[in-house]
Amino acid sequence: MKVAILGAGAWGTALGVLLASKGIPTALLARRREHAEALRAQRENKDYLPGVALPAYLYPTHDPEEALSGAEFAVVALPSKALDTLKDLPRAPWYLSATKGLFFREGALLTPSQWVAALTGRPVAALSGPNHAEEVARFLPTASVVAGPEALARRAQEVFHSPTFRVYTSADLRGVELCGGLKNVLALAAGMVDGLRLGDNAKAALLTRGLREMVRFGTAQGGEEATFYGLAGLGDLLATAYSLHSRNRGAGERLVRGEALERLEDRGVVEGLYAVKALMAWRQRAGVELPIAEAVYRVAYEGLDPLKALSELMSREPKAEG
């Protein structure tokens, strides 16, 4: 068997390292010819995942035909803003989305697997959890969830499960993917708390109320409550909001310290910046309350002073905790 990974950024490369180290022939599709050539020559992804050796079974290419030909399935490890490129690629029999994002399209809030299914017309499952590429690729232990149609989730579990990467299955595809989109927005907020040096109490309070916001919103959008307390929810929220690896947390920190919005993706994609836009567009339609996400949006896109955003959150009507 063979697997194709679409996207040679940090996450696509880490997943490729994981599979190839199990002896699974894995193609890694890079967007640019020079990048694929550099990966093959150096056996390292210096641009996106430096310091990790690429195993022999991992084959970087920029040729979509070569990558997808004979693949049992394709792993989508593209940033959400690049998913549309899938419609120009040869089709895989089915897809495993490893992208964490949210889309507002034609009046609906869509998750990556929904958008991949719309673009390709093929069945799609999703992989999500507390999984920083830098650690997964160095075989530090973690766990993850594959959600979607049972046969696909079971197969992906079998293929990815390893002594350092424990994979669970879930039938709650919507919930698992909402977790991945929402936690990035909260990680931006957590980074702002770090950047303002508001302290450990503030960060814990923010994340606890943020988790409540995830649960309230996510269950109203069709996710199951337990999912939000699982690996893709609380697990990934903690991993992202406390990690020095996290581009989302780091972007929040840099933003409140005065760095320009346009520079925040210098170190890799910051999905929360796109997800929060989709959430705000959706909220206007659905009339739901998302106070923390709204504060993040206003700080990032409307220049609201982050301390003013905080004081607005603190001065909301006092109420019971639920």
Ligand X SMILES: O=C(CO)COP(=O)(O)O
Ligand Y SMILES: NC(=O)C1=CN([C@@H]2O[C@H](COP(=O)(O)OP(=O)(O)OC[C@H]3O[C@@H](n4cnc5c(N)ncnc54)[C@H](O)[C@@H]3O)[C@@H](O)[C@H]2O)C=CC1
d(CA 58, CA 40): 9
Contact 236, 207 (CB under 8 A): no
187 binds ligand X (CB under 6 A): yes
Provide, rounded to whole angstroms, the least separation between the CB of residue 233 and ligand X.
12
Whether 246 has a binding-site annotation, put simply, is yes
Tell the residue number behind the tokens 């002594």, with chain if given.
Answer: 163
- Other CB atoms within 10 Å distance of the CB of residue 66: 15
Select 115 or 274, whichever has its Cβ closest to ligand X.
Answer: 274
Specify which residues 61 forms β-bridges with. 29
145 φ/ψ angles, rounded to the nearest 5 degrees: -125, 135
d(CA 32, CA 302): 34
**Among the candidate windows 63-71, 110-118, 237-245, 303-311, which touches ligand X by CB under 6 A?**
237-245
126 binds ligand X (CB under 6 A): no
Contact 116, 125 (CB under 8 A): no
Task: Indicate if 183 belongs to the active site.
Answer: yes
**Among the candidate windows 46-54, 235-243, 258-266, 305-313, which touches ligand X by CB under 6 A?**
235-243
247 binds ligand X (CB under 6 A): yes
Select 242 or 291, whichever has its Cβ closest to ligand Y.
Answer: 242
Cα separation of the two ends of the chain: 49
Angle at 285 between CA 248 and CA 316, to 5 degrees: 65
298 binds ligand X (CB under 6 A): no
Whether 133 has a binding-site annotation, put simply, is yes
Select 23 or 51, whichever has its Cβ closest to ligand X.
Answer: 51
| Residues numbered 128-157 forming contacts with ligand X, rule: CB under 6 A | 130-132
**Among the candidate windows 28-36, 52-60, 124-132, 211-219, which touches ligand X by CB under 6 A?**
124-132
Amino acid at 210: G
Provide, rounded to whole angstroms, the least separation between the CB of residue 268 and ligand X.
7
Residues near ligand X (CB under 6 A), total: 14
Catalytic residue, candidates 2, 183, 277, 308: 183
Q: E strands within the chain? A: 3-6, 26-29, 44-45, 49-53, 58-61, 73-76, 95-97, 103-105, 108-110, 124-128, 142-147, 165-170
d(CA 120, CA 87): 6
Amino acid at 226: A
248 binds ligand X (CB under 6 A): yes
Whether 269 has a binding-site annotation, put simply, is yes
Positions that interact with ligand X (CB under 6 A): 100, 130-132, 184, 187, 236, 239-240, 245-248, 271
Which residues carry a binding-site annotation? 11, 31-32, 48, 100, 129, 133, 183, 236, 246-248, 269, 271
Which residues carry a binding-site annotation for sn-glycerol 3-phosphate? 100, 129, 183, 236, 246-248
Catalytic residue list: 183
